[in-house]
């Protein structure tokens, strides 16, 4: 095997006067247990076994289609994948020793800058587990910086993500309530929101674009929330939208988060993922997560190090702003490489391509006879459509033609809806869209 | 400058940030210009603030940054509590498998049987390793695993009508515990009661006795504890905790010390988390991602997060996702967890098997004890002489006699091309240097590490307190960074 022979270990211990037999003499007999899992195998057998198991998946490359719903397949530049094999970065840990980890720290500082710029807020951290848990942390932070315990979230916020927010705020006494959806627009009913607001509302939380694919009336939500003295938090579940759309900060959000996976890694069955997190400067010391700051070394050269650590669990313990320790740094790095490679125009054009292709697909589906429930709302790269007759049968027909026509809406939302959530990114082939359109024509 | 020169010189590049290199928007050759998106101007932004840099320069930028970073692939990384062992490269490549990368989390179960099977099998093995009954793979890291477990404990007591101001509102934690333990318990809604460790560095049974009551929901413990000492009273502790009706939680960060020797279940724990990025060698990625699966007893199983992966060989498809679980705490992160990391862990467990994992543990413990024996005169470690996979040495003597602190020792080690141990934690040891060599260091590497530590103890204090000398930068002013926080390029260039 790849480790020194067992005998060498015994010799090594003997050299310092230790008996190898005694290494576990402190473990009482009654709690001793041997492991009972299959014997180890050589690398090549494990490679074969796992590769063939994973081959049982029908991937979105094998059967392309209109799949989104919180996880997005985009073109990841070859630079990103190539640089992701750099062992110095991949096998390092949280950069406690700044002098020997400047590279990683500088990349994280660049990531913070990108996060703040994209979300249009002042300050950002090294990232959190994913967009959804980052949103949970944002709502918890909102209760910490302001008053109140009620957290208002849209009816169309997917149940899983609402549950995450609930788990994060419950310990602080926070409760979740749903803001009605305007059935005409597929967005927050702002009048209804206004009616729910009172002094006990600590936080209004929305997603933009939302899970129905619609763009929320962010300015209006921001205004009524601000007027009521509550904190406005917003999550961007599909970060490429920010190549084209304003960040939540522009619309008055005090804390904003995003799911960064689309620019870091293919879907990978939902993880790893990356939560971007940014806030107004005045809330800096209430932020969760690792933060990198710029400073100098003894020779007055630019330097970076972890900072504001007195917020964190290893110092503040039960009074920390968050329990997070291990985060998703490597994804933050890959995110930064991707945007660096795309550049301003590349990122913008990528976002435009997404929005334009989705728009065209939407129009074609409507012409083919599909119903587009929120046709008058603005969309980015996702939208809802409905077909006459049995939805599952329609989806199966599309599959038989080799494409996924979308995701049944309740699988995205967790609660009832007749529609199909469709997403068009730049990686969806033209002929896959053609096939979905043809399948609609067939059932109409 | 260094006396004991191993010849290590880290690369230094006076490397500007991407924002300093920004050439301003240039046409892109990857996507068409001006696609007709139809969105109104008031919703769209002028620019996103993404820097534009030649691709060759971008690659050089990150290559240079990599050269100014130190990982396990670079050298010895004895960072205590973090289990910085060699990351299996086969596992790394498997995580890049196209069958995984392009599986979508909302595909139908029929289409993702491969990954569901792999995850189910991994969960099965983790159950066995934990000696417990059920597992969730959802938590993204150890701390999130702790949080899940504490939310489950809450739900459990709530179900029994025992959650209130005077009942089951407290979680008891030793003062040597990792900071995430109290932070997770507090975030889950509990009051935290920290108890002082005994003189031997282990749980003080009388302090525990005093702390436990019908208000206690759980006691959180890692074994071996953060001093690398096995809590020999663990059975008694379990009995005391259970006697007041509370749950016993195992912080799995130190699991690499006990594989094949004992298990959380065997010791009487009700819940446990794994840090797969420690025990199962998935790369730490500069801070993450990791994964923090949680195992529990049948009694607590109904509270596990959704979705649960189920297997029924008679059914079609065989593996399903069960979302309909009334008592579940719900979710703590999106979809199914850090799946790419879990695949690496599954590969590692397959490669090593029962005997391999047990052998790794034995070697990890042997290496820690070897290093401890060799340095204990210069850096005494509190607690008994027998350590597990790690130990906490103290630079207090050096501090007193020569003014050399644990931080100085840490910085000086970097000059030897060796990463520093964990410093100033656990807080119960003065001038703490928490050392965990892991099983993947050879005797030669261990000797080089020991020799470096011993030479530092003998060195002229000035050389040590002014270290490091051979890293990319000299000592970084972290106090200044905290006093005047500059977190973005825009803040740095605003003044
Ligand atoms: C003893 C101990 N407990 C818990 C944790 C938290 O685990 P994670 O960093 O994976 O969240 C750590 C990790 O650093 C640890 O060392």
Cβ-based burial of B466 (10 A; exposed 0-12, middle 13-18, buried ≥19): middle
Torsion of CA A54, A58, A59, A63, to 10 degrees: 160
State residue B250 phi and psi, 5-degree precision. -105, 115
Q: Which of A47, A50, A115, A153 should be substituted to probe chain B, the one whose Cβ sees the most B Cβ atoms within 10 Å?
A: A50
A312 in the same domain as A222: yes
Please tell me which of the candidates A87, A129, A347 has its beta carbon nearest to residue B71: A87
Output the pLDDT for position B372. 98
A303-312 pLDDT, tens digit each: 999 999 999 9
Radius of gyration of chain A (CA): 25
Q: Domain limits of chain B?
A: 93-349, 355-482
DSSP assignment of A367-385, as one string? HHT-B-TTTTS-BSSEEEE
Q: Give strand ranges (E) for A197-242.
A: 201-207, 231-236
Cis peptide before B224 (omega within 30 of 0): yes
Q: Which of A8, A57, A247, A288 should be substituted to probe chain B, the one whose Cβ sees the most B Cβ atoms within 10 Å?
A: A57
Copy the structure tokens of residue A177. Answer: 């309530």
Taking the C-alpha atoms of residue A192 and residue A195, their distance in angstroms, rounded to an integer, is 5
Radius of gyration of chain B (CA): 25
A219 in the same domain as A203: yes
A270 in the same domain as A355: no
Taking the C-alpha atoms of residue B124 and residue B366, their distance in angstroms, rounded to an integer, is 29
Q: Which atom of ligand 1 is nearest to the CA of A323?
A: 11
Copy the structure tokens of residue B101. Answer: 């990368």
Number of domains in chain A: 3
Q: Which residues of B touch A93 (CB under 8 A)?
A: 77, 79, 82, 84, 284, 286-287
Output the pLDDT for position A8. 87
Output the pLDDT for position A2. 56
Is the Cα dihedral A264, A268, A272, A276 positive or negative? positive
Judge whether B291 and A129 are in contact, CB under 8 Å: no
Query: Residue A251's domain is classified under what CATH number?
Result: 3.40.640.10
Pocket lining: B222 vs ligand 1, CB cutoff 6 Å: yes
pTM over 0.90: yes
Question: Which of these three, A287, A315, A338, is where a domain ends?
Answer: A338
SS3 A172: coil
A32-64 pLDDT, tens digit each: 999 999 999 999 999 999 999 999 999 999 999
A427 in the same domain as A355: yes
The dihedral region occupied by B283, where left means phi > 0, alpha psi between -120 and 50, and beta the remainder, is beta
A386-435 pLDDT, tens digit each: 999 999 999 999 999 999 999 999 999 999 888 999 999 999 999 999 99
Confidence of residue A7 (pLDDT cuts 50, 70, 90): confident
Cis peptide before B317 (omega within 30 of 0): yes
Copy the structure tokens of residue A135. Answer: 């949103």
Name the stretches of chain B with pLDDT < 50.
Answer: 1-3
Q: How many angstroms does the Cα of residue B253 sit away from the middle of ligand 1?
A: 6
Decide if A386 is inside a domain. Answer: yes
Please tell me which of the candidates A82, A91, A109 has its beta carbon nearest to residue B283: A91
Q: Report the residue among B143, B231, B271, B422 best suited for mutation to probe ligand 1: largest number of ligand atoms under 8 A from its CB.
A: B143
Taking the C-alpha atoms of residue A280 and residue B113, their distance in angstroms, rounded to an integer, is 44
DSSP assignment of A314-356, as one string? HHHGGGSS----S--HHHHHHHHHHHHHHHHHHHHHHHHHHHH
Average pLDDT, chain A: 97
Decide if A383 is inside a domain. Answer: yes
Q: How many angstroms does the Cα of residue B294 sit away from the middle of ligand 1?
A: 13
Pocket lining: A325 vs ligand 1, CB cutoff 6 Å: yes
SS3 A407: strand
A28 in the same domain as A174: no
Continuous H helices in A270-328? 313-316
Pocket lining: B290 vs ligand 1, CB cutoff 6 Å: yes
Given strand B294-296, what is the order of strands in its sheet? Answer: B134-136, B294-296, B271-273, B247-250, B216-221, B170-174, B191-195
Output the pLDDT for position A1. 45
Taking the C-alpha atoms of residue A357 and residue A369, their distance in angstroms, rounded to an integer, is 18
Pocket lining: B142 vs ligand 1, CB cutoff 6 Å: yes
Q: How many angstroms does the Cα of residue B146 sit away from the middle of ligand 1?
A: 9
Query: Is the pLDDT confidence value at A274 over 60?
Result: yes
Output the pLDDT for position B1. 44
Output the pLDDT for position B3. 47
State residue B340 phi and psi, 5-degree precision. -60, -35
SS3 A132: helix
Decide if A3 is inside a domain. Answer: no
Could you give the count of Cα atoms lying within 13 Å of B108 in the half-sphere of its Cβ? 17
A355 in the same domain as A331: no
A162-188 pLDDT, tens digit each: 999 999 999 999 999 999 999 999 999
A140 in the same domain as A15: no
A132 in the same domain as A94: yes
Decide if A400 is inside a domain. Answer: yes
CB atoms within 10 A of CB B340: 25
SS3 A296: strand
Pick the CATH number of B93-349 from 1.10.760.10, 3.40.640.10, 3.90.320.10, 3.30.70.270: 3.40.640.10
Helix (H) or strand (E) holding A437, with range, is: helix A430-443
Three-state secondary structure string covering chain B: CCCCCCCCCCCCCCCCCHHHHCCCCCCCCCCCCCCCCCCCCCCECCCCCCCCCCHHHHHHHHHHHHHCCCCCCCCCCCECCCCCCCCCHHHHHHCCCHHHHCCCCCCCHHHHHHHHHHHHHHHHHHHHHHCCCEEECCCCCHHHHHHHHHHHHHHHHHHCCCCCCCCCCEEEEECCCCCHHHHHHHHCCCEEEEECECCCCCECHHHHHHHCCCCEEEEEECCCCCCCCCCCCHHHHHHHHHHCCCEEEECHHHHHHCCCCECHHHHCCCEEECCHHHHCCCCCCCCCCCCCCEEECCCCHHHCCCCEEEECCCCCCCEEEECCCCCCCCCCCCCCCCHHHHHHHHHHHHHHHHHHHHHHHHHHHHHHHHHHHHHCCCCCCCCCCCCCCCEEEECHHHHHHHCCCHHHHHHHHHHCCCCCCEECCCCCCCCEEEECCCCCCCHHHHHHHHHHHHHHHHCCHHHHHCCCCCCCCCCECHHHHHHCCCCCHHHHCCC
Output the pLDDT for position B2. 46
Average pLDDT, chain B: 97
A253 in the same domain as A113: yes
What is the fold of B355-482?
3.90.1150
Decide if A53 is inside a domain. Answer: no
B177-230 pLDDT, tens digit each: 999 999 999 999 999 999 999 999 999 999 999 999 999 999 999 999 999 999
CB atoms within 10 A of CB B324: 8
Decide if A292 is inside a domain. Answer: yes
CA distance B379 to chain A (A): 16
Decide if A102 is inside a domain. Answer: yes
- List, in sequence order, every residue forming a beta bridge with B220; answer none if it has no partner: B249
Is the Cα dihedral B163, B167, B169, B170 positive or negative? negative
Which residues neighbour A431 within 8 Å (Cβ) at sequence distance 6 or greater?
A: none
Q: Which residues of A touch B469 (CB under 8 A)?
A: none
Output the pLDDT for position B274. 98
Copy the structure tokens of residue B491. Answer: 């803040």
A352 in the same domain as A407: yes
Q: Which of B62, B291, B304 is nearest to A273 (CA)?
A: B291
Confidence of residue A3 (pLDDT cuts 50, 70, 90): low
A359 in the same domain as A303: no
Taking the C-alpha atoms of residue B301 and residue B298, their distance in angstroms, rounded to an integer, is 5
| B85, B229, B362, B382, B392 from A6: Cα distances, Å | 18, 23, 10, 29, 26
What is the complex's ipTM, to 2 decimals? 0.98
C-alpha triplet A176, A181, A183: angle, nearest 5°: 160
Query: Residue A367's domain is classified under what CATH number?
Result: 3.90.1150.10
Kindly report the protein residue whose alpha carbon is nearest to atom 7 of ligand 1: B142
Decide if A54 is inside a domain. Answer: no
A275 in the same domain as A145: yes
* Residue range(s) defining the domain that contains residue A17: 8-45
Output the pLDDT for position B184. 98
Helix (H) or strand (E) holding A294, with range, is: strand A292-296
Query: Which residue do the tokens 């793979």 mark?
Result: B137
CA distance B311 to chain A (A): 15
Output the pLDDT for position A266. 97
């Amino acid at each position: 095997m790849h480790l020194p022979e067992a005998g060498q270990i015994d010799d090594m211990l003997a050299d310092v006067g230790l008996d190898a037999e005694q290494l576990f003499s402190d473990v009482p007999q009654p709690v001793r247990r041997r492991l009972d899992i299959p014997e180890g195998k050589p690398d090549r057998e494990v490679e074969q076994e796992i590769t063939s198991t994973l081959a049982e998946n029908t991937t979105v490359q094998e059967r392309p289609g209109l799949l989104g719903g919180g996880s997005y397949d985009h073109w990841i530049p070859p630079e990103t994948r190539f640089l992701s094999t750099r062992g110095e970065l991949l096998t390092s840990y949280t950069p406690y020793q700044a002098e020997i980890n400047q590279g990683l720290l500088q990349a994280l500082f660049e990531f913070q800058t990108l996060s703040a710029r994209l979300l249009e807020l002042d300050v950002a951290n090294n990232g959190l587990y994913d967009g959804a848990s980052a949103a949970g942390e944002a709502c918890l932070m909102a209760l910490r910086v302001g008053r109140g315990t009620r957290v208002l979230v849209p009816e169309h916020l997917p149940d899983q993500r609402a549950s995450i927010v609930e788990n994060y705020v419950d310990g602080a006494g926070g409760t979740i309530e749903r803001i009605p959806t305007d059935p005409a627009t597929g967005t927050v009913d702002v009048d209804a929101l206004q009616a729910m607001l009172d002094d006990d509302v600590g936080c209004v939380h929305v997603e933009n674009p939302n899970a129905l694919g619609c763009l929320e009336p962010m300015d209006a939500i921001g205004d009524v929330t601000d007027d009521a003295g509550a904190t406005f938090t917003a999550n961007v579940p599909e970060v490429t939208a920010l190549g084209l759309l304003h960040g939540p900060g522009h619309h008055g959000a005090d804390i904003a988060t995003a799911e960064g996976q689309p620019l870091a890694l293919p879907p990978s069955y939902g993880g790893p993922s990356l939560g971007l997190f940014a806030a107004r400067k005045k809330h800096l010391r209430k932020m969760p997560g690792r933060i990198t700051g710029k400073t100098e070394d003894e020779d007055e050269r630019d330097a970076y190090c972890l900072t504001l650590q007195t917020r964190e669990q290893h110092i503040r313990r039960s009074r920390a702003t968050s329990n997070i320790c291990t985060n998703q740094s490597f994804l933050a790095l890959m995110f930064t490489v991707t945007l660096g490679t795309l550049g301003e125009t590349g990122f913008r054009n990528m976002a435009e391509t997404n929005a334009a292709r989705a728009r065209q697909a939407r129009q074609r589906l409507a012409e083919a006879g599909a119903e587009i429930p929120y046709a008058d709302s603005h969309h980015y790269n996702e939208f809802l459509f409905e077909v006459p007759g049995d939805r599952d049968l329609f989806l199966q027909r599309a599959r038989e033609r080799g494409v996924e026509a979308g995701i049944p809406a309740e699988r995205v939302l967790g609660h009832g809806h007749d529609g199909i959530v469709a997403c068009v990114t730049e990686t969806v082939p033209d002929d896959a869209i053609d096939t979905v359109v043809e399948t609609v024509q067939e059932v109409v | 400058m260094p006396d004991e020169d191993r010849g290590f010189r880290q690369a230094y590049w006076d490397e500007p940030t991407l924002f300093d290199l920004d050439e301003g928007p240039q046409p892109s050759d990857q996507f068409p210009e001006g696609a007709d998106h139809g969105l109104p101007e008031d919703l769209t932004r002028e620019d996103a603030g993404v820097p534009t840099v030649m691709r060759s320069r971008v690659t050089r930028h990150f290559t240079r940054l990599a050269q100014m970073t130190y990982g396990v692939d670079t050298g010895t990384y004895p960072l205590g509590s973090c289990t910085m062992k060699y990351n299996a490269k086969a596992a790394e490549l498997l995580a890049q498998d196209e069958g995984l990368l392009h599986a979508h989390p909302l595909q139908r179960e029929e289409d993702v049987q491969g990954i569901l099977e792999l995850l189910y099998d991994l969960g099965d093995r983790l159950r066995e390793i934990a000696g417990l009954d059920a597992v969730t793979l959802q938590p993204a890291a150890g701390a999130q695993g702790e949080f899940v477990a504490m939310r489950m404990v809450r739900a459990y007591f709530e179900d029994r009508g025992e959650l209130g101001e005077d009942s089951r509102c407290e979680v008891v934690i030793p003062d040597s515990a990792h900071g995430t333990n109290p932070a997770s318990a507090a975030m889950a809604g509990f009051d935290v009661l920290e108890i002082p460790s005994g003189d031997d560095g282990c749980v003080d049974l009388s302090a525990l006795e005093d702390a436990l009551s019908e208000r206690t929901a759980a006691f959180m413990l890692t074994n071996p504890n953060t001093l690398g000492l096995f809590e020999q009273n663990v059975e008694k502790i379990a009995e005391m905790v259970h006697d007041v009706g509370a749950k016993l939680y195992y912080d799995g960060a130190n699991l690499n010390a006990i594989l094949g020797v004992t298990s959380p279940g065997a010791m009487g724990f009700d819940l446990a988390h794994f840090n797969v990025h420690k025990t199962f060698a998935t790369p730490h990625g500069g801070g993450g991602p990791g994964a923090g699966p949680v195992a529990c007893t049948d009694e607590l199983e109904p509270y596990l997060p959704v979705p649960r992966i189920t297997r029924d060989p008679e059914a079609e498809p065989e593996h399903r996702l069960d979302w309909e679980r009334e008592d579940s705490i719900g979710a703590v992160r999106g979809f199914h967890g850090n799946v790419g990391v879990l695949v690496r862990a599954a590969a590692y467990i397959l490669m090593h098997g029962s005997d391999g994992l047990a052998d790794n543990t034995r070697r990890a413990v042997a290496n820690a004890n070897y290093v401890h024996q060799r340095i204990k005169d210069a850096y005494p470690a509190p607690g008994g002489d027998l350590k597990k996979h790690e130990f906490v040495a103290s630079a207090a003597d050096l501090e007193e006699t020569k003014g050399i602190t644990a931080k100085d020792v840490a910085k000086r080690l970097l000059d030897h091309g060796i990463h520093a141990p964990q410093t100033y934690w656990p807080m119960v040891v003065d001038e703490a240097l928490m050392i965990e060599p892991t099983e993947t260091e050879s005797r030669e590497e261990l000797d080089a590490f020991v020799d470096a530590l011993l030479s530092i103890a003998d060195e002229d204090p000035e050389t040590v307190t002014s270290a490091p000398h051979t890293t990319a930068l000299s000592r970084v002013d972290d106090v200044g960074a905290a006093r005047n926080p500059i977190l973005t390029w825009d803040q740095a260039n605003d003044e």
